[in-house]
A and B are shown apart, each in its own frame.
Chain A
Amino acid sequence: MDPLTTDVVEFDLATTDLRRVNAALHTPGGLGSRHVRITHPAGAHAVAAGLDAPLDVVVDGHVGYYAAGMNQQADVTIYGNAGVGVAENMMSGSVWVSGSASQSAGATAHGGLLVIEGDAAARCGISMKGVDIVVGCDVGHMSAFMAQAGTLVVRGDAGEALGDSIYEARLYVRGRVASLGADCVAKPMRAEHHEELARLLKAAGYENDDTASYTRYGSARGLYHFHVDNVGSY
């Protein structure tokens, strides 16, 4: 992250309407700087949602639902916890949460990097479509449900039904997996997987992790076609 500089544009959500703040972030030409700091979010929803410019946005405090939702290009750092759906449907850029995140973190996201230093609750990476997610601690149940593409790295444990009905996303978990969901299986770590995992861990600041301590999970591709013999799996 770039250090804060004197040309940081500040918005105080205690005194400024969120709608005005987001509107300003949507017209970055008028900001006069690419560095933005938002204070006193106090759990507000949709903080810094819909950005589409190479901004550096720092949010000082806890945020509510859909922080940095649908992010494009921007790097958003949240110093605090994040509510439901942080970085949902992100396309590019990065979102960094210093604390923990509630349900559906990174849901349906197509690209970019989401880092959650603490835990992520249930359904982390649900229907993910290409995003890279790195979670510093544990993830809750049904994480990577119907995950289509991208990678989910979990440095801690994963809850029940990890990767249920997964498509082509790749999951790396270092800790214990409570249970695997339908059609999700453990797979061998080949050289390219060690490389990919190392790259993601480095990007998230965890470069000292031993990639050999992780297990890869993915789709057995057994449910890709409707068949009566699979009826017990659904």
Chain B
Amino acid sequence: MDTADLRATRGLRESATFDRATIHGIQRAARTGVYHIRGGGAKRAVPHFDDLLFLGASMSRYPLEGYRERCDTDVVLGTRHATFPLHLAIPVTIAGMSFGALSGRAKQALGRGASEAGTSTTTGDGGMTDEERGQSKHLVYQYLPSRYGMNPDHLRQADAIEVVLGQGAKPGGGGMLLGQKITERVASMRTLPVGIDQRSACRHPDWTGPDDLAIKIRELREITDWEKPIYVKVGASRTYYDVKLAVHSGADVVVVDGMQGGTAATQDVFIEHVGIPTLAAIPQAVQALQELGVHRQVQLIVSGGIRTGADVAKALALGADAVAIGTAALIALGDNDPRWEGDYEALGTAAGFYDDYQDGRDPAGITTQDPRLQSRLDPEAASRRLANYLRVMTLEAQTIARACGKSHVQHLEPEDLVALTVEAAAMARVPLAGTSWIPGGEGGF
């Protein structure tokens, strides 16, 4: 008899409101007096891509022959204003993650793996490292509220610039990097004292609102002679309005990050209770772009909980031009690998559950600045794993696209999708399977 059965025979019933994790949270807060800070994205179950299905082809649609008929996967980002848009081989990019949050080796591995698969990586808070620029064929440089390590030379060296307003894990929140990870190199890049708990601003220091942002984007274009695509990244919340304002401000590309999107360190209460699911955000973003007449001219990148080629295909079918992955990329590198089970247990966690990215003791050597732990990650082997994973996702997306009769993954469309639940149907604005019912109709926001 397993533990759950034993409890049942004794009549023990766990409260749905005060379950064991909740009780533990209250006990922890009472003991420490500090809110729970962790990494990763929302853990709660929310309507997601799993709640959608593709219809596939049959009598009324012709499928394409797998492995024989072409199904292209490339995407061009930044066609609106930039002289040199990014041309990526696959529609799966690597989301912004900082050196500081991640080790130098992890950043190197992301760069190598992404370049091998023909896609881009993105810097994060704290600036651009030589390792990352050297390894990444396509590198997107984040322009963040803190401006830690912000250097015009790096702007010019970048292939695209991403103005970050927020992220899905914490729309409206700034960054934090705890003292354990503020080593001499990280501190020096960010002009901070070694070992302090770093606070990052949540608002940009020299502009407020969309009219200012338009002027800021123009400055970035002037400084880089209008060469670079400029992305605007928002955490999913009031997505319809945010996307419209981002376009108004002059963005070439809009990045929308849902609440399942990860972070290196944020309050758990923020991660779980602020923002909306990725699935709910995409149709809002697409509607905004369509109403402005710029869908496919201003490209849409979606992130937050992308795990498989099916997720990629569903995001594209709903109207995204590309997706970005963060958590999944770290797992591909080696995060939460069971080979370090003993170390995870020593930290009071287990492989598959580790999310203390903030405390710098990552057994897999990825979210740490500890030289001993970092040395556990072989950048070459890790980059190969990432490239494999990206290829598998791409093949999976192609498999679905061919089954739906599409010669390019971007030809997937909402008409190819149905939903398994009423909630997912309402959010994704596709019919509940077996019906023609799209709950919510033409409702506003």
Q: Which residues of A contact B (CB under 8 A)?
A: 18-19, 22-23, 26, 45-46, 49-50, 52, 64-66, 69-70, 72, 84-85, 88-89, 91, 103-104, 107-108, 110, 123, 126-127, 129-130, 145-146, 148-149, 165, 167-168, 224-228
Contact = CB atoms under 8 A, between A and B. Distances in A.
A50 B224 CA distance: 8
Contacts, number: 105
Contact of B201 (A84, A127, A168): A127
Contact of B215 (A23, A66, A130): A66
Given A103-B206, A110-B191, A224-B193, A46 B147 contact: no
Q: Which 8 pairs show the lowest CB-CB distances between chains A and B?
A: A50-B223, A228-B33, A85-B206, A104-B206, A108-B147, A70-B152, A224-B196, A46-B219
Given A19-B222, A50-B224, A84-B207, 11 more contacts: A22-B222, A65-B212, A65-B216, A66-B216, A88-B206, A89-B150, A107-B205, A108-B206, A148-B190, A226-B34, A226-B178
Range class of the B interface residue count: 20 to 34
A130 B199 CA distance: 18
Nearest to A47: B222
Contacts of B388: none
A89 to B, nearest CB: 6
B80 interface: no
Contacts of A123: 205-206
B205 A126 contact: yes
Interface string B187-198: 000111100110
Contacts of A49: 219, 222-223
Interface string B209-236: 0001001101100111110000000000
B152 A108 contact: no
Contacts of B297: none
Given A66-B216, A88-B206, A126-B206, A224 B222 contact: no
B152 A72 contact: yes
Contact of A146 (B197, B199, B206, B215): B199
B146 interface: yes
B152 A66 contact: no
A150 to B, nearest CB: 9
Contacts of A127: 146-147, 201, 205
Contacts of A23: 225
A167 B192 contact: yes
B390 to A, nearest CB: 34
Given A50-B224, A72-B152, A225 B191 contact: no
